[in-house]
Structure 1
Amino acid sequence: MRKSDYRKLGGIVILLVLWWLLAYALNRHFLFPSPFAVGKVMLCQLQNTAFYQAIIMTLSRCVIGFVISYGTALVLALVTGHMKWLRDYLAPLITLLKSVPNISFILLILIWFNREISVMIIVFFVLFPSFYSSFTNGFDAIDQSLREVMILYPQSLWRQIVKVELPLLKPYLAASYESGIGLAFKVGVMAEILGQVPDGIGKKLQWSYLNIEMAEVFAWTIWLIILLVLLEHGLRLLWKKRKE
């Protein structure tokens, strides 16, 4: 392990100790459970099939919404990069999507669409404007001298996109993934809670809240954090392998 990994591990240990001290000082375990109580709940959840079903349902909804939003934004950014006039037409729409509060998206879409589909649609609309803006900024950042070289040595549009533009957009693609995947799950779980969507982490959190089972609320929150860390770490490894 590297020194930075040891420091991160030390930071986690410090947080756990502070958590335990705060729980001990408050002495209200039904409102603020200790790490030991939450760990016991997490171990019990691992033995329950409903736990895995909730993880899979939430994961599938959020990932589908994320992938559709990410792919649509990338394709549209590449198209508008070559058709500047289209970007001007889309600018008011992108500004509007950025300005609408996330909670408004959630409430409106929950009213208009089926509860199951609504989570994916909400994730799409919340993430799309930020993805699109990031990708267009990356496209505009391509060195002008490189553009002049492409004009001198013309290639097919497909080859230009695959061999030149997409590799130059990699930093923006990676940054958008890392910032977007966490937001996708936060918004997705919130949508599950407000829409009372069955079979998901949001439903489990809502049930725990209604029954004042704070240890379960903490446990599901930690599982969600672990899931996000694994997804982010997995993509970082994928980027590194592709670079090698």
Structure 2
Amino acid sequence: MLVVAFWLAVWQVAALAVGQRLLLPAPAEVGGRFVELVVEPSFWTTVARSLVRVAAGFVAGTLLGTLLAVAAATWRTVRTLASPVVGAVRAAPVVSFIILVLVWVDTDRLAVVVSALMVLPVTYAAVLEGIGQRDPAMLEVAVVFRVPRRRRLLAIDVPAVLPFFAAACRVGVGLAWKSGIAAEVIGLPAGTVGERLYDAKLLLLIADVFVWTAVVVALSLAAERLVAATLRRLPSAQPDHPEVAP
């Protein structure tokens, strides 16, 4: 709480120093505007629309990245063909993909597709690395004793991959929110957080810009904590989680 109070004080001093509400509104003004917005039914409808789109993109990207990584680990041809495409998606600016995807899909699905594209490379790289870190001795024992595929999967494959998968999910949920809201700001699907942000900027409602930005940050942090709490329930995800770069 002391840290929050400190930065609120810094914000207040900066707002007084600037002396222009259009450039930097005071914390009290932004807080008052938040109270006004949060009691409106349209506020929660807007948040729900964006939440569903970003969550769908995160889930889709995670599933596709995992499946592609499994296929790449199984077949060398798939890995050779997928590597440059995944590398290009990882390296290219988010805005470039938003514009390209906007040519191919309607604005209602834009955030879903873009979020999935941003999450996919992170999940792919992490799961592929996890598969490569399996214990060769355990795999050899499984072959020698003809351990059924399902039992080997649960006893060897999943425990090896899960810490990498967990790390990828923590990174991916943040990427999904950043890219999904950016896609909404550019595509402007009706009734979304991105549209409200764009309208607030266009009408110079800077307090609203602060409010909606804070909403996005809060939702992203909440989603990250939810994912982390879910993963903590999985025993194999507990030991030293590797870091996965976005």
How many residues are aligned here? Answer: 236
Map residues 53-92 of structure 1 onto 2, 5 A cutoff.
53-92=45-84
Task: Measure the CA separation in 2 of the matches of 1:234 and 1:18.
Answer: 30
Task: Measure the CA separation in 2 of the matches of 1:208 and 1:123.
Answer: 23
5+ residue gaps, structure 1: 1-8
Task: Measure the CA separation in 2 of the matches of 1:153 and 1:42.
Answer: 63
SS at match of 2:233: helix
| Residue 128 of structure 1: aligned partner | 120
Map residues 1-244 of structure 1 onto 2, 5 A cutoff.
9-243=1-235
- Superposed CA deviations along residues 152-185 of structure 1, whole A, max 9, x for unmatched, are 2332333322332122222212211111111111
Counterpart amino acid of residue 8 in structure 2: L
Tell whether the 8 Å contact from 1:105 to 1:126 is kept in structure 2 after alignment: no
SS at match of 2:25: coil
Counterpart amino acid of residue 124 in structure 1: A
Task: Measure the CA separation in 2 of the matches of 1:27 and 1:151.
Answer: 73
- Superposed CA deviations along residues 132-153 of structure 1, whole A, max 9, x for unmatched, are 1121111112222222222223
Moved more, 74-83 or 128-137: 74-83
Moved more, 206-215 or 86-95: 86-95
Task: Measure the CA separation in 2 of the matches of 1:231 and 1:108.
Answer: 27
Structure 1 runs of 4+ aligned residues shifted over 6 Å read none
Task: Measure the CA separation in 2 of the matches of 1:158 and 1:216.
Answer: 53
SS at match of 1:169: helix
Counterpart amino acid of residue 202 in structure 1: G
RMSD over aligned CA atoms reads: 1.7
Deviation (angstroms), 1:59: 0.6
Tell whether the 8 Å contact from 2:139 to 2:156 is kept in structure 1 after alignment: no
Question: What TM-score, normalized to structure 2?
Answer: 0.89
Change (3 A) 1:178 1:126: same
SS at match of 2:146: coil
Deviation (angstroms), 1:232: 1.3
Tell whether the 8 Å contact from 2:138 to 2:156 is kept in structure 1 after alignment: no
Deviation (angstroms), 1:126: 2.2
- Superposed CA deviations along residues 78-114 of structure 1, whole A, max 9, x for unmatched, are 2322333421232232223233322111001112211
Deviation (angstroms), 1:44: 1.2
Task: Measure the CA separation in 2 of the matches of 1:125 and 1:85.
Answer: 22
Task: Measure the CA separation in 1 of the matches of 2:5 and 2:132.
Answer: 44
Counterpart amino acid of residue 203 in structure 1: E
Task: Measure the CA separation in 1 of the matches of 2:130 and 2:137.
Answer: 15
Deviation (angstroms), 1:235: 2.0
Task: Measure the CA separation in 1 of the matches of 2:226 and 2:121.
Answer: 25
Identity of aligned residues (%): 24
Task: Measure the CA separation in 1 of the matches of 2:93 and 2:229.
Answer: 33
Task: Measure the CA separation in 2 of the matches of 1:92 and 1:234.
Answer: 32
